[in-house]
A and B are shown apart, each in its own frame.
Chain A
Amino acid sequence: MFARPQWLILLLVLIAGLVWWRVPADTQQLSRTALIMGTLVEIRAFGDDQQQLNQAISDAFAEMTRLEDLLSSHRPDSDVARLSSAEKTVKVSAETAKLLQLGQQVALRSGGAFDMTLGAVKQLWAIETDHPQIPTAEQLQTALHGIGPRALQIDGTQVTKSVPALQVDLGGIAKGYAVDRALAVLRRAGIRSAAVNAGGDIGLLGDRQGQPWRIGIQHPRNKGQLLTTLRLADRAVVTSGDYERFFERDGVRYHHIFDPHSGQPARRSQSVTVVAADAASADALATAAFVLGPRAGLKLLEDWPAVEGLLVAADGTVYQTSGLQRSD
């Protein structure tokens, strides 16, 4: 065999090919978790270099922590806290102004179902604290005073409140925005395949090694069961459900998504999942559609460009937008 040069050449070519094929390192995967914005954030990224992945994920976490400082109502010097404590007009960062504008757009289009000025209502219910309570009608009346899509006047970076007592809460949009920013940081670091999961608010960068990411959608009543699985790439998925944070009193479930019209937990839906290009929009739209309920909520999602959604009504019926691709 080795007497013939063509065999030898063929063998050398084969070996050269194998060497070339083996030398580039296998694609690395890195997954890390951190607690940010009061929720468990998992970032998973694929790349060639473990060190680079590690650095990129650290940067993404740092970016989310920065946004927590900027947008949390619990931080006294955050934009949101300053806005809440202000008498009338406050200058906020350009970033906060842009996010408020996006929120206002959803608020207007949903007829006020999404509202960023429910801070006082949330404080009354205190659902995310140790001592939740059911507020009286008068208390709610006071807390709802002045709220609505037009309660905040945004002029450049100047934000003006309709009434001084207005409390701003970006709970329905800030987490989504933080996911978007984390993905932007990862993208800038040259990563082409990553996922950020902030307690179920999921942002996807690229696909999962040539395959779409598979996103399971939690069944709102049976824990551990899936409603469906979505196959997605370069999308964001956010689910709002009444099962996430709630307390029960006298057999009634009081959860954390409030109807701005009544100040009571919204009763028309069990959960809404929204698939959009960015997690901030998905986050706000999921809340809005949840409050609106099956008919108006589904219409909102259908009318919003490039958005799909899945809605479980209060009676357990599952509705979905026409363009949603399920894979179950």
Chain B
Amino acid sequence: MTSSAVDPAALELELVRRRVFLALFIALAVALHTFEVLLPNPLPWFRIGLANILALTALFLYGQRALWIVSLTRILVGSLLLGNLFSPAFLLSLSGGLSATLLMSVAYRFCRPRIGPVGVSVLGALGHAGGQLLIAWLLIVRHPSIWMMLPFFLLFSLISGMVNGLAADYLLDALFKHPAFARLRSMGEKEAI
């Protein structure tokens, strides 16, 4: 679909490879999503969002569509595994995930060559916190005091966003060195869907 110099067999191989890697990313993201529940967290709603590392990696490897696929599938499958599908916790997770993904893909779309994984990740983390709190306020605790938590949420997600962004950046570096992504590198990230 990009340059005519690419022969069909190689393109087919690349597409299969992409699907396999996306599936791997989703699997890893789900694992991290579940794993995170086990981690000690100071306050019940604070999450580092480790799964977002994989979403970011998918975004920078394969573009916005991959980001949406990884994020949404991760939330659905992760909640299914944790047994809280369609519970309030799931709604929080979904609303946070949707607003984070939306912010990340918009940032990626419009600020692309200048913005790096860290920038996208931080935006996503803040969007996650904001979206989650908004839904919590609308559906669960209709009380203004919930907004008292917003600053703490934002501060925490700023830090976790940077950590995740850096992790994604390291992962991207490592992946680009791997032969399986050599073609992608030669094609250039921009050409991905």
Please, what's the 1-or-0 string for B8-48, where 1 marks a CB less than 8 Å from any CB in chain A?
00000000000000000000000000010111100000000
- Give chain B nearest CB distance to A273 CB in angstroms: 36
B72 → chain A closest CB, angstroms:
26
Binds B, one of A14-22, A75-83, A147-155, A194-202: A14-22
The docked-state distance in angstroms from the alpha carbon of A18 to that of B37 is 10
CA A15 – CA B32 in complex, angstroms? Answer: 11
Instruction: Say whether chain A's binding surface is mostly helix, strand, loop, or mixed.
Output: helix
Report, as a range, how many residues of chain B touch the other chain. under 10
- Chain A residues whose C-beta falls within 8 Å of the C-beta of B39 in the assembled complex: 18
Give CA–CA (A19, B39) in the complex, Å: 9
Near B by CB (< 8 A), chain A positions 20-35 give 21-22
9 A–B contacts, CB within 8 A, in A order: A15-B35, A15-B38, A18-B38, A18-B39, A19-B38, A21-B40, A22-B37, A22-B38, A22-B40
Q: In chain B, residues 77-136, which have Cβ atoms closer than 8 Å to a Cβ of chain A?
A: none
Contacts of B40 in A (CB 8 A): 21-22
Tell me the minimal C-beta distance from A10 to chain B in angstroms: 14
Report the minimum CB–CB distance from B139 to chain A (whole Å).
24
In angstroms, Cα B34 to Cα A15, docked, is 11
Residues on A with beta carbons closer than 8 Å to the beta carbon of B37: 22
Nearest CB in chain A to that of B39: its residue = A18
Distance in Å: Cβ of A319 to nearest Cβ of chain B: 44
CB contacts (< 8 Å) of A15 on chain B: these are: 35, 38
Closest chain A residue to B38 by CB distance? A18
**Docked complex: A296-317 residues within 8 A CB-CB of B:** none
In the complex, what distance in Å separates the CA atom of A249 from the CA atom of B2?
99
A21 CA to B37 CA in the complex, in Å? 12
Chain B proximity of A231: nearest CB distance (Å):
25
Interface 0/1 of B32-66, CB less than 8 Å to A: 00010111100000000000000000000000000
Contacts of A18 in B (CB 8 A): 38-39
Known: A15-B38, A18-B39, A22-B37. 6 other contacts (CB 8 A): A15-B35, A18-B38, A19-B38, A21-B40, A22-B38, A22-B40
Residues of chain B contacted by A22 (CB below 8 angstroms): 37-38, 40
Quick one: CB contact mask for A136-153 with B, threshold 8 Å, 1 for yes? Answer: 000000000000000000
Q: How far, in whole Å, are A32 and B40 apart by their CA atoms in the complex?
A: 29
- Measured in the bound complex, the distance between the Cα atoms of B39 and A196 in whole Å is 35
| Chain A residue nearest to B37 in the complex (CB) | A22
A21→B35 CA distance, assembly (Å): 13
CA distance A21 to B39 in the complex (A): 9
Roughly how many angstroms separate A22 CA and B11 CA in the complex, as a whole number?
A: 47
Which residues of chain A are near B38, meaning CB under 8 Å? Answer: 15, 18-19, 22
